Amino acid sequence: MSAARRQAWFFPLVVVGAVYATVGIVFALPASHVRAWRLSAWVLSGVVYAIHVGYECFWLRNSSVTAGLHVALAAALGALGLAVGAIVHSLSLTTTSQHQRLLLVALVAWPVITGVPAFFVAFGAGGLLTRLSRRDHVA
């Protein structure tokens, strides 16, 4: 396997992580119709997630474990970006030191509570996609 193929997963991981963070931050800005904007952010992130799983499974032909790991790392990177965005936002407000400490905890907690479920869902979806694609080739 060539070095370019082995590293073809890294750039999309960073881009997808940045997309998650950007969507989360930008879609939180509008003051009106907050529920609609949150729902839009969830839907867009879900579409990006599905595309990333498909890319890992079909384009890169990674195993479901590897695909799950790459997708989970992108989700965790996006959550880290959101945590950093929350800290930057809190600096412009008058927040308590307790609030600042909680935001520092978020730097670790948000990526973990986002990345772990993202791994298991992508692992399951990758296994299902692999099984379905094999069935299509056999028939």
What is the model's pLDDT at position 133?
Answer: 76
- Give pTM, 2 decimals: 0.88
Q: pLDDT tens, 24-81? A: 999 988 878 889 999 999 999 999 999 999 999 999 999 999 999 999 999 999 999 9
Q: Kindly report the average pLDDT of the chain as a whole number.
A: 90
As a whole number of angstroms, the distance between CA 128 and CA 121 comes to: 11
What is the model's pLDDT at position 31?
Answer: 79
pLDDT at 1 over 60: no
Cα→Cα distances 87→14, 81, 122, Å: 21, 10, 29
Whether 48 contacts 68, CB under 8 Å: no
pLDDT at 7 over 80: no
pLDDT at 116 over 60: yes
What is the model's pLDDT at position 98?
Answer: 80
